[in-house]
Chains A and B, each alone.
Chain A
Amino acid sequence: MALISTLLALRRDPRILKLPPYLSALCILVGVVWLLVLPLNEYSRNTYVSENALLPGQVHTYFTGSEHNIFRAYRHEVAALVDTSVQERTQRLGDIFRSSNLKVATQKYEYHASGRNISNQNVYAILHGPRADATEAIVLIGAWRNMADEVNHSGVALVLTLARYFKRWSLWSKDIIFLVSGDSTSGPQAWVDAYHDSYSPASIEPLSIKSGALQGAVAIDYPAGPWGHRYDKLHVVYDGVNGQLPNLDLFNTAVSIASGQMGIGCTLQRMWKHDDSYQERLQTMLRGMISQGLGHASGPHSSFIPYHVDAITLQTVGNGWHDEMSLGRTVESLFRSLNNLLEHLHQSFFFYLLMQANRFVSIGTYLPSAMLIAVNFTITSIALWVQSGRGVSTPNPASATPKASPDSKTSKPDSMTAAEKSGAIALIPTTSLAITERKLFLPLAFILASHFLGLLPLYIFNNTSEPYLGLAFNTITAVTTSLPVLTALLLSKFLCPTEQETTLIQCFSLLLLGMYLSALATLNFSLSFLVGIFASPLTFVRSLAPQTPPTTQSPQIPPSFVSKNRKSLSATMVILLVLLNPLVVIRAATLYWGATIVEVLVQAAEGWHVWGLWTQVVVWLVWWPAWFAGSVVVAGGLFA
């Protein structure tokens, strides 16, 4: 009890309000440093296969010799199909599968996004495990065109060859499905949606033949033309839609087979050269985080992961001495390992950051960094709440400090006695209540409205056709940049928000931001971290209204300075925040990576309509409202 009283007394100490900004800054700092130390040996771990059943690389592979001739023949067949119609191509591929005595079916799909028409056809074949019970299946994918829109000559030919080759083995405990999808993103999505019966019949056809529950999927991306190409390394792509990842065991098995059994080096996140230094590890990890944060489909495998089907893409890169047969043997060995599985992959991690093909950190180690960033907002919002309650220096009546004169910061015992002896009970409460009540309506309405406002760009970007997207982006950038200043102007003209109300607007906005980000951190760590970092200045900006009492100003700036340069400081902060406008950040990012903004928006719209991508929702309903509220609060200082 005594402890609680002490704490309660401490609560009223004005000094305690100075603490939160430092605490928030500390949280951000620790959060970032935490992430930076992860690549060190002390904090990351070597990967290991934890599922006993996988037994990676324990089998001899026999995909050699005569199969090579068949592969070359198929590669020419595939090359001959490049310029033919979709219908004819599917027909011919189906015939090849059929000649290997497999059941074949096709699936048409047609999506509309950004005014474009994405239509193509999937063809797939099912190999029933001769002694299996047809309750489980694994998928081998060769997309007709890869992510770079090149024809996947050798990849498709390899799928055809492997289909013919696998058919001859009798040891499959699961069915194997060979899928040649029309493209690398929408095609697999259409197929896997239809496989799990969650699709709109308007855009995709149902599958006429199916097998059991999917246990894993491997995609081959090998765009070497009809005369082949020897590659140097395998690039293992593992990001799924919305930043979900496959079980780490699948990745580890692929790496251990490719590098251990076949002697093919593995690389990830486009780090073609990796000398395992700290910088390279960090770079790999950050690239992985950005890819995860964007949540886009990074290959044919991505669509499978939301259905809890672990999947990866094996992509050939560089010039080296490995040929198609070694890739075929890698896939063969990988499928033998997957064939050994007794149940769904579950032993290893689903949340991890990779910093090299065989080094990772797991969620327990890295999650605190995003959580700290999210917590920083919560701390500030709590501080702002407390501050809003004593804006004019009146304590909360429940804390039962004597109701003293409004200007005194410390309690005066004599004023208390006066109140006691006066006996004028009815008078005191009314005054005290009138002072300490927080006016919640305007802040709550404002926050609600700003979230609804976020729906507008979300709708516009997802439903504008391609030619107008650039214009839409520029317009919305301009509008959103000027909107906070305008809103602040209008607010101060018509509603005259009190200092308490502006404080509460910021408080609620940060509270929601902290909440969204901490929930998001458990689903998509990277997105939460990135949004958190870009939004972190919102913690430190304040409305510099004239009546700001000396206790509440930003800790960096001495009071006299603030009172003198209120307007210019506010303007500086507004400009800083304009630079952190989500749209400006997106523009800067596209400039940095050399992408065009329209391309990004088209991808995002396709993601929204086809893949079920949620990143835009986070940008427009989490990040943007928080930024908007913060900017309006700061811009209020210009007009106060």
Chain B
Amino acid sequence: MAFDQQKVLLFGVAAAVRLLLFTAFPSLPNLLTGRVEISTPVTSFKRLQEGVFLYTHNVSPYDGGVFHQAPLLLPLFSLLPNPAFHPFATNLLYTVVDLLGANALMQIAESWQSAAPRLFKSSRKDLRWSSIAIGAGFLFNPFTITTCIARPTSALTNLFILISMAKASQGAGATFVLALSFASYLAMHPILLFPPLLLLCYDARATKTKSTPPLLTFAVVHVLALAAALGGLLYLSALLMGSWEFLAATYGVRLLLPDLTPNVGLWWYFFTEMFDSFREFFLGVFWLHVVSYVPGLTIRLRKQPLFVATTLTGIFAVFTPYPSIADGTLYLSLVPLFRHLFPLMRYTFLASSTILYASFIGPAFYYLWIYAGSGNANFFYAITLVWSLGLSVIVGDSLYAALRDELDVERPELRGKEVKRI
């Protein structure tokens, strides 16, 4: 059981690093919680604590417009001891969340749905990293660690997205739907992952059972299951809160962007400059833009549904209203699953240098803007643009590589030839 030993070692070291950081630098979690790059208004741990405080004091947590997170998080965190005095339980929870996420990621890697799904065998499918390496890439990614230390609730969302992908790639329909409904319940936009993951689940099921059930029935059953699960969660929340007002405070905020706190995304700056009369229009356009990738990619890359889901997480990390580096880290952890595409990617160095530069200059410019008073919002926004550019270069480049990979399989005689747009 050498394999399991490796896994235990990996998880042990990852947990040790996290708990060590938590205990050795007790002020670090609070420092990182305040960073706009990590904590957005809809995921911030500080706001969550405020919500929990109000909740335990019998005040509606959504009064006052500070708390915008899902209601079920409140009982969860109110059961934990107050992190201001006894942070260990919370730290442990977030460490476990990361480990479970890594576990799910490794399950995805082991399912081999990335390089060899049912309908498509990549010509380079033997080129891949072991699941341990991919898990390590997730667990020791500095962005993942920072996210874990800062304790935003997006860590939970990431966990459920990873689990739903893992379950879908194993063809486990029920838990896939449940996990995705949890993720969507927490953060809303993961519901857009449903179409590709449904196809992935269908393909995985078909491979497993060696039969192809009618896709339509399969889809209808799962859509209904998802609706039931989401409805159940929302109803449970309403029971817990005593009213439905949490809908406007959570999903309403995510949809309509009333809080323009800076983040690493593209929306906030644009909407601070917006004339009020155009606000609704551009909200519509921006959301339409995000959503439009889902059908397009799902249809075009029907044969590689896991790649579509991965690319969508990358798109969410750039184009949703409140992205943080937690969304970026999810995407960057999923990309190594597609090791076989790397030889076809052309701008890895450019993209990774861009991301590296952005993640160092970003805080520097934020400091100049907010603390030193010698810069302004444009400095920081320019860097968020660079960060988004880096991510979208990876998205675009990997899309190119995936298409090229399909082409290589379809038309082997074209291998190695320069592609030209006609």
Q: Is the CB of B368 within 8 A of A425?
A: no
B421 at the interface (CB under 8 A from A): yes
A423 at the interface (CB under 8 A from B): yes
B269 at the interface (CB under 8 A from A): no
Q: Is the CB of B372 within 8 A of A400?
A: no
Stretch at the interface among B252-260, B300-308, B412-420: B412-420
A95 at the interface (CB under 8 A from B): no
Q: How far is the CA of A511 from the CA of B346 in the complex (A)?
A: 18
Stretch at the interface among A132-140, A488-496, A514-522, A572-580: A514-522
CB distance from B415 to the nearest CB of A (A): 7
Q: Is the CB of A419 within 8 A of B416?
A: yes
Q: Is the CB of A425 within 8 A of B123?
A: yes
B371 at the interface (CB under 8 A from A): yes
Stretch at the interface among A13-21, A274-282, A391-399: A391-399
Given A350-B373, A382-B349, A522-B368, are A402 and B416 also a contact pair (CB < 8 Å)?
Answer: yes
B238 at the interface (CB under 8 A from A): no
CB distance from A394 to the nearest CB of B (A): 12
Given A385-B349, A420-B413, A522-B368, are A308 and B373 also a contact pair (CB < 8 Å)?
Answer: yes
Q: How far is the CA of A521 from the CA of B420 in the complex (A)?
A: 41
Q: For B346, what are the chain A residues with a Cβ–Cβ distance below 8 Å?
A: 396, 398-399
A10 at the interface (CB under 8 A from B): no
Q: How far is the CA of A400 from the CA of B417 in the complex (A)?
A: 5
Q: How far is the CA of A429 from the CA of B124 in the complex (A)?
A: 8
B374 at the interface (CB under 8 A from A): yes
Q: How far is the CA of A403 from the CA of B418 in the complex (A)?
A: 12
CB distance from A455 to the nearest CB of B (A): 12
Q: Which A residues between 509 and 529 are near B, CB-CB below 8 angstroms? A: 511-512, 515-516, 518-520, 522-523
Q: Is the CB of A400 within 8 A of B416?
A: yes
CB distance from A386 to the nearest CB of B (A): 8
Q: For A519, what are the chain B residues with a Cβ–Cβ distance below 8 Å?
A: 357, 360-361, 364
Q: For B372, what are the chain A residues with a Cβ–Cβ distance below 8 Å?
A: 244, 308, 350, 523
Q: Is the CB of B343 within 8 A of A436?
A: yes
Q: Is the CB of B344 within 8 A of A398?
A: yes
Q: Is the CB of A523 within 8 A of B419?
A: no
Q: Is the CB of A522 within 8 A of B124?
A: no
A191 at the interface (CB under 8 A from B): no
Q: How far is the CA of A344 from the CA of B372 in the complex (A)?
A: 12
Q: Is the CB of A397 within 8 A of B343?
A: yes
Q: For A403, what are the chain B residues with a Cβ–Cβ distance below 8 Å?
A: 416
Q: Is the CB of B344 within 8 A of A397?
A: yes
Residue interface bits A394-432, CB-to-B below 8 A is 1, else 0: 001111111100000000000010011001011011001
Q: For A428, what are the chain B residues with a Cβ–Cβ distance below 8 Å?
A: 415-416
From A1, A346, A416, A429, contact of B421 by CB (8 A): A1
Q: How far is the CA of A429 from the CA of B365 in the complex (A)?
A: 45
Q: Is the CB of A433 within 8 A of B127?
A: yes
Q: Is the CB of A518 within 8 A of B127?
A: no
A351 at the interface (CB under 8 A from B): yes
Q: How far is the CA of A341 from the CA of B360 in the complex (A)?
A: 36
Q: How far is the CA of A423 from the CA of B412 in the complex (A)?
A: 8
Q: Is the CB of A429 within 8 A of B123?
A: yes
Q: Which residue of B lies closest to A378 (CB)?
A: B353
CB distance from A275 to the nearest CB of B (A): 32
Q: How far is the CA of A423 from the CA of B346 in the complex (A)?
A: 25
From B349, B357, B368, B418, contact of A400 by CB (8 A): B418
Q: For A382, what are the chain B residues with a Cβ–Cβ distance below 8 Å?
A: 349, 353
Q: Which residue of B lies closest to A245 (CB)?
A: B374
Q: Which residue of A lies closest to B419 (CB)?
A: A400
Q: For A1, what are the chain B residues with a Cβ–Cβ distance below 8 Å?
A: 420-421
Q: Is the CB of A397 within 8 A of B416?
A: yes
Q: For A399, what are the chain B residues with a Cβ–Cβ distance below 8 Å?
A: 346, 418
Q: Is the CB of B374 within 8 A of A433?
A: no
Q: For A400, what are the chain B residues with a Cβ–Cβ distance below 8 Å?
A: 416-419
From B345, B367, B413, contact of A523 by CB (8 A): B367
Q: How far is the CA of A244 from the CA of B371 in the complex (A)?
A: 12
Q: For A398, what are the chain B residues with a Cβ–Cβ distance below 8 Å?
A: 343-346, 401
Q: Is the CB of A522 within 8 A of B415?
A: no
Q: Which residue of B lies closest to A308 (CB)?
A: B373
B119 at the interface (CB under 8 A from A): no
B356 at the interface (CB under 8 A from A): yes
A323 at the interface (CB under 8 A from B): no
Q: Is the CB of B420 within 8 A of A429?
A: no
Q: Which B residues between 366 and 422 are near A, CB-CB below 8 angstroms? A: 367-368, 371-375, 401, 412-413, 415-421
Q: How far is the CA of A399 from the CA of B343 in the complex (A)?
A: 10
A197 at the interface (CB under 8 A from B): no
Q: Which residue of A lies closest to B383 (CB)?
A: A519
CB distance from B407 to the nearest CB of A (A): 12
Q: Which residue of A lies closest to B349 (CB)?
A: A385
A88 at the interface (CB under 8 A from B): no
Among A382, A398, A402, A423, residue most surrounded by chain B Cβ atoms (within 10 Å):
A398
Q: Which residue of B lies closest to A423 (CB)?
A: B412
Q: Which residue of B lies closest to A441 (CB)?
A: B133
Q: How far is the CA of A562 from the CA of B67 in the complex (A)?
A: 67
Q: How far is the CA of A520 from the CA of B360 in the complex (A)?
A: 9
CB distance from B381 to the nearest CB of A (A): 15
Q: Is the CB of B356 within 8 A of A511?
A: yes
Q: For B364, what are the chain A residues with a Cβ–Cβ distance below 8 Å?
A: 519-520, 522-523
Q: For B127, what are the chain A residues with a Cβ–Cβ distance below 8 Å?
A: 433
From B343, B361, B421, contact of A522 by CB (8 A): B361
Q: How far is the CA of A266 from the CA of B368 in the complex (A)?
A: 30
Q: How far is the CA of A255 from the CA of B402 in the complex (A)?
A: 65
Residue interface bits B319-348, CB-to-A below 8 A is 1, else 0: 000000000000000000000000111100
Q: How far is the CA of A536 from the CA of B409 in the complex (A)?
A: 48
A437 at the interface (CB under 8 A from B): yes
Q: Is the CB of B343 within 8 A of A433?
A: yes
Q: Is the CB of A433 within 8 A of B123?
A: no
Q: How far is the CA of A523 from the CA of B366 in the complex (A)?
A: 11
Q: Which residue of B lies closest to A2 (CB)?
A: B420
CB distance from B16 to the nearest CB of A (A): 15
Q: Is the CB of B360 within 8 A of A515?
A: yes
The 4 closest A-B pairs by CB, nearest first: A350-B374, A398-B346, A425-B412, A519-B364
What are 25 sample pairs from A and B whose C-beta atoms fall under 8 A apart? A1-B421, A308-B372, A378-B353, A397-B343, A399-B346, A399-B418, A400-B416, A400-B419, A402-B416, A403-B416, A419-B416, A423-B412, A428-B415, A432-B416, A433-B124, A433-B127, A433-B343, A436-B343, A511-B356, A515-B353, A516-B360, A519-B361, A519-B364, A523-B368, A523-B372
Given A426-B123, A433-B124, 20 more pairs with CB closer than 8 A: A1-B420, A5-B420, A308-B371, A308-B373, A350-B373, A382-B353, A397-B416, A398-B346, A400-B419, A402-B416, A416-B416, A425-B412, A428-B416, A429-B123, A429-B124, A436-B343, A515-B357, A516-B360, A518-B357, A519-B357
